[in-house]
């Protein structure tokens, strides 16, 4: 029965309408349910496209050419519409302050907002930055990296020239910037290319890299010398030989000067003077630290420039090898060991060698050098008449002769020995090579080069180079690296041509022929080049070797060629001429420690005079 009543109650509730619900108007036609074909919750009568579920009043408008949100407008207010930027200056870059959102690209608008000045078409990220106080390339920096920047240099000394190491680029100069570099010392206005060189003030005033303007030029008189020395007697003939030496072992280079005829015309004992590196203006030989006198009458100590320096006993002191004559008149070699503190007679020398050098009345030469690369210096002594040179141990003592020689170097048979060199390296192997010169019949000279080390006899066939010629090497047998290639070059003179000829053979010197690196020819009918020519190293600070060439004959002069280079020069091409009777020029190294070679000129007539000219220093 509870069940039947409940069912009836339920049925009654369904069938009886609510009192609040309006009664349907009886139209006489039954009602139909709303149609929603795309199932998007919007019936067909309110859906503008009931075939697409993503098109209805609640759909977001998109850039797709449809009215997605059914508001009657296509693509208007689309949520995926991009932002465009108007490009008023038509340079393809938009103004970030003038955006527009639109599905389609508006006319005059672009996608980017990179233009920092939309009024000027020359200003945009693709433009080239120029020095115009405008941010042309829109990178946020004005004039930085401009292609037309200028190069400037710091000018700290305010002399108008900048330090080359401070190079930098900018559009406009700062207060201490200049456009010119070339200042070699920006800490002082005394150095720049516009300042004339002031010699010996320690500054490269004109910034030319050296002391060229301080080097010797034109005609040089004896009054220009730093210091000069005159023989003590009217016939001393001071200056027939000279060398530099460390007399006391103190590391300073001092002077050795030969007065060949010191003692008078009837007593030509000769003397070797040792003088400390002199001060400016000093004169005379009376203050010499040491004097070595020749061995009696006609001793002629240092005859024909016979004076060589080296450390024969490896004790740290320079020794002196001197050519002279014994009381009998025969040629002798004297070895005087350092230090050199007291005057002495050459006859008391610890080592004397007979039968060499200027025996038989013919001049000869010697040398001090380590010939066999054993670390011990040997004596090399020419025997003119025998046409050879003897190698004698430097550690011997007493009076010796040719029997004490440990090796010989021979010229071609019949050739008279004249000159020798033994402290040069022509092949760059680090060993001393030997150059031997002689003169055969008909004044045909022969020059042989023996490659070091020399540790035994050497015959002409052993020579690595041989040169012959009429008058070859009568006065000059020199060496020096004139072309700066690391090899010593060989200087040879010849009297076979009018005006004389000096030839410089480039190292390595080999064979029996080969062109000259440099030739100097005399163009003076009365005077000839070639006598005692010498490569003197760098005397003017340009880093290259210079050349001294005597011009013999009436009114002799010594020619100075600055960094002569290659080719052919005539005597008239000389950079300077040392006058006042100068006959010989010597390279004596650096006496004052400025790194430049000093020049020594001698006028050995009468009492003789020696003049010291300092290297041209900044």
Give the integer Cα–Cα distance in Å for 334 and 337. Answer: 10
CB-based contacts of 498, cutoff 8 Å, min separation 6: 522, 525, 528
Give the integer Cα–Cα distance in Å for 93 and 118. Answer: 8
Work out the percent of the chain whose per-residue pLDDT is above 90.
49
CB-based contacts of 374, cutoff 8 Å, min separation 6: none
Residue 496 — pLDDT band, cuts 50, 70, 90? confident
Q: Is the pLDDT of residue 292 over 70?
A: yes
pLDDT in tens, 206-217: 998 777 677 788
The count of other CB atoms within 10 Å of the CB of residue 71 is: 12
**Spacing of C-alpha 422 from chain mean position:** 29
Q: Is the pLDDT of residue 6 over 50?
A: no
Give the integer Cα–Cα distance in Å for 130 and 143. Answer: 6
Mean pLDDT score of the chain: 86
At residue 189, the pLDDT reads 94
At residue 180, the pLDDT reads 93
Give the integer Cα–Cα distance in Å for 140 and 131. Answer: 14
Pairing of strands 557-561, 576-578: antiparallel
Average pLDDT over residues 155-176: 93
Give the integer Cα–Cα distance in Å for 509 and 258. Answer: 32
At residue 35, the pLDDT reads 83
Computed from CA positions of residues 147, 151, 156, 160, in that sequence, does the dihedral angle turn out positive or negative?
A: negative
At residue 21, the pLDDT reads 38
At residue 37, the pLDDT reads 84
pLDDT in tens, 303-340: 777 889 999 988 999 999 998 888 888 888 999 999 99
Whether the Cβ atoms of residue 459 and residue 478 lie closer than 8 Å to each other? no
At residue 8, the pLDDT reads 29
pLDDT in tens, 354-395: 888 765 556 678 899 999 999 899 999 998 888 999 999 999
At residue 20, the pLDDT reads 42
pLDDT in tens, 256-271: 999 887 776 556 788 8
Give the integer Cα–Cα distance in Å for 517 and 547. Answer: 13
Residue 618 — pLDDT band, cuts 50, 70, 90? confident
E strand map for 315-473: 319-325, 331-336, 344-345, 351-354, 366-369, 378-383, 388-393, 398-400, 407-410, 416-424, 433-439, 444-450, 465-470
At residue 19, the pLDDT reads 38
Average pLDDT over residues 138-160: 94
pLDDT in tens, 405-423: 999 999 998 888 888 999 8
| DSSP classification of residue 517 | S
- Which residues sit opposite 109 in a β-bridge? 86
At residue 28, the pLDDT reads 54
Average pLDDT over residues 604-616: 89
At residue 141, the pLDDT reads 94
Residue 7 — pLDDT band, cuts 50, 70, 90? very low
Whether the Cβ atoms of residue 220 and residue 559 lie closer than 8 Å to each other? no
Residue 488 — pLDDT band, cuts 50, 70, 90? very high
Whether the Cβ atoms of residue 523 and residue 600 lie closer than 8 Å to each other? no
What is the enclosing helix (H) or strand (E) of 153?
strand 150-154
CB-based contacts of 469, cutoff 8 Å, min separation 6: 444, 445, 494, 496
pLDDT in tens, 177-212: 999 999 999 999 999 999 988 877 778 899 987 776
At residue 500, the pLDDT reads 86
Give the integer Cα–Cα distance in Å for 286 and 122. Answer: 87
Average pLDDT over residues 460-487: 86
Question: What is the three-state SS of 75-142?
Answer: CCCCCCCCEEEECCCCCCCCCCCCEEECCCCCCCEECCCCCCCCCCCCCCCCCCCCCCCCCCCCCCCC
Residue 436 — pLDDT band, cuts 50, 70, 90? very high
Three-class secondary structure of residue 402 per DSSP: helix
Whether the Cβ atoms of residue 151 and residue 163 lie closer than 8 Å to each other? no
Task: Quickly tell me which residue has 């630290």 as its tokens.
Answer: 289
Work out the percent of the chain whose per-residue pLDDT is above 70.
91
Residue 467 — pLDDT band, cuts 50, 70, 90? very high
Give the integer Cα–Cα distance in Å for 404 and 389. Answer: 13
Core vs surface per residue 554-575: b (16+ CB within 10 A) or e: eebbbbbbbbbeeeebebeebb
At residue 555, the pLDDT reads 86
At residue 283, the pLDDT reads 63
Average pLDDT over residues 564-578: 92
* Neighbour-count burial of 120, counting CB atoms closer than 10 A to its CB (0-12 exposed, 13-18 middle, 19+ buried): middle
Residue 594 — pLDDT band, cuts 50, 70, 90? confident
Q: What is the pTM of this model?
A: 0.70
Computed from CA positions of residues 34, 36, 40, 45, in that sequence, does the dihedral angle turn out positive or negative?
A: negative
At residue 57, the pLDDT reads 87
Average pLDDT over residues 425-436: 94
Whether the Cβ atoms of residue 379 and residue 426 lie closer than 8 Å to each other? no
At residue 168, the pLDDT reads 93
pLDDT in tens, 35-92: 878 787 888 888 888 788 888 888 898 999 898 889 888 888 899 999 999 999 999 9
Three-class secondary structure of residue 166 per DSSP: helix
At residue 125, the pLDDT reads 96
**Tokens matching residue 480:** 């020096």
C-alpha closest to that of 392 among 310, 451, 449, 466? 310
Q: Is the pLDDT of residue 291 over 70?
A: yes
């Amino acid at each position: 029965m509870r069940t039947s009543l409940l069912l009836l109650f339920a049925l009654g509730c369904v069938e009886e309408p609510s009192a609040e619900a309006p009664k349907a108007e009886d139209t006489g036609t039954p009602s139909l349910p709303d149609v929603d074909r795309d199932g998007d919750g919007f019936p067909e009568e309110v859906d503008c496209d009931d075939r697409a579920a993503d098109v209805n009043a609640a759909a977001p408008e998109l850039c797709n050419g449809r009215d997605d949100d059914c508001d009657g407008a296509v693509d208007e207010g689309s949520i995926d519409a991009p932002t465009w930027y108007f490009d008023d200056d038509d340079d393809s870059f938009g103004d970030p302050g003038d955006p527009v959102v639109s599905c389609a690209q508006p006319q005059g608008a672009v996608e980017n907002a990179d233009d920092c000045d939309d009024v000027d078409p020359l200003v945009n990220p693709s433009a080239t930055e120029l020095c115009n106080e405008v941010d042309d390339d829109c990178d946020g920096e004005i004039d930085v990296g401009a292609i037309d920047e200028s190069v400037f240099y710091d000018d700290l000394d305010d002399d108008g020239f900048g330090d080359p190491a401070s190079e930098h680029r900018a559009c406009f100069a700062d207060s201490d910037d200049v456009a010119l570099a070339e200042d070699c010392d920006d800490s002082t206005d005394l150095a720049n290319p516009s300042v004339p060189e002031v010699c010996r003030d320690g500054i490269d005033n004109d910034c030319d890299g050296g002391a060229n303007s301080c080097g010797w030029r034109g005609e040089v008189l004896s009054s220009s010398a730093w210091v000069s020395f005159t023989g003590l007697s009217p016939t001393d003939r001071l200056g027939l030989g000279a060398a530099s030496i460390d007399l006391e072992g103190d590391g300073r280079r001092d002077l050795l000067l030969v007065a060949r005829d010191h003692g008078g015309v009837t007593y030509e004992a000769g003397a070797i003077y040792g003088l400390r590196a002199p001060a400016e203006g000093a004169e005379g030989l009376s203050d010499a630290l040491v004097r070595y006198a020749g061995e009696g009458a006609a001793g002629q100590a240092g005859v024909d420039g016979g004076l060589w320096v080296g450390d024969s006993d490896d004790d740290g002191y320079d020794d002196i090898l001197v050519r002279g004559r014994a009381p009998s008149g025969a040629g002798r070699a004297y070895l005087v060991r350092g230090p050199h503190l007291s005057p002495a007679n050459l006859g008391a020398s610890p080592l004397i060698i007979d039968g060499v050098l200027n025996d038989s009345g013919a001049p000869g030469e010697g040398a001090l050098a380590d010939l066999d690369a054993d670390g011990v210096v040997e004596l090399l002594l020419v025997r003119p008449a025998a046409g050879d040179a003897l190698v004698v141990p430097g550690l011997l003592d007493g009076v010796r002769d040719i029997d004490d020689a440990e090796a010989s170097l021979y010229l071609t048979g019949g050739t008279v020995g004249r000159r020798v060199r033994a402290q040069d390296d022509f092949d760059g192997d680090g060993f001393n090579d030997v150059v031997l010169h002689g003169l055969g019949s008909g004044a045909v000279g022969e020059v042989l080069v023996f490659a070091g080390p020399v540790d035994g006899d050497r015959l002409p066939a052993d020579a690595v180079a041989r040169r012959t010629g009429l008058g070859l090497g009568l006065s000059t047998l020199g060496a020096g690296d004139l072309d700066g290639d690391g090899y010593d070059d060989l200087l040879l003179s010849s009297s076979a041509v009018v005006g004389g000829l000096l030839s410089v053979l480039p190292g390595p010197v080999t064979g029996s022929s080969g062109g000259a690196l440099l030739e100097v020819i005399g163009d003076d009918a009365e005077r000839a080049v070639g006598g005692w020519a010498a490569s003197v190293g760098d005397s003017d600070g340009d880093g290259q070797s210079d050349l001294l060439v005597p011009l013999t004959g009436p009114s002799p002069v010594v020619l100075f060629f600055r960094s002569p280079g290659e080719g052919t020069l005539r005597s008239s091409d000389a950079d300077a001429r040392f006058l006042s009777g100068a006959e010989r020029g010597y390279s004596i190294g650096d006496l004052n420690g400025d790194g430049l070679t000093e020049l020594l000129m001698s006028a050995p007539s009468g009492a003789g005079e020696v003049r010291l000219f300092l290297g041209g220093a900044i």
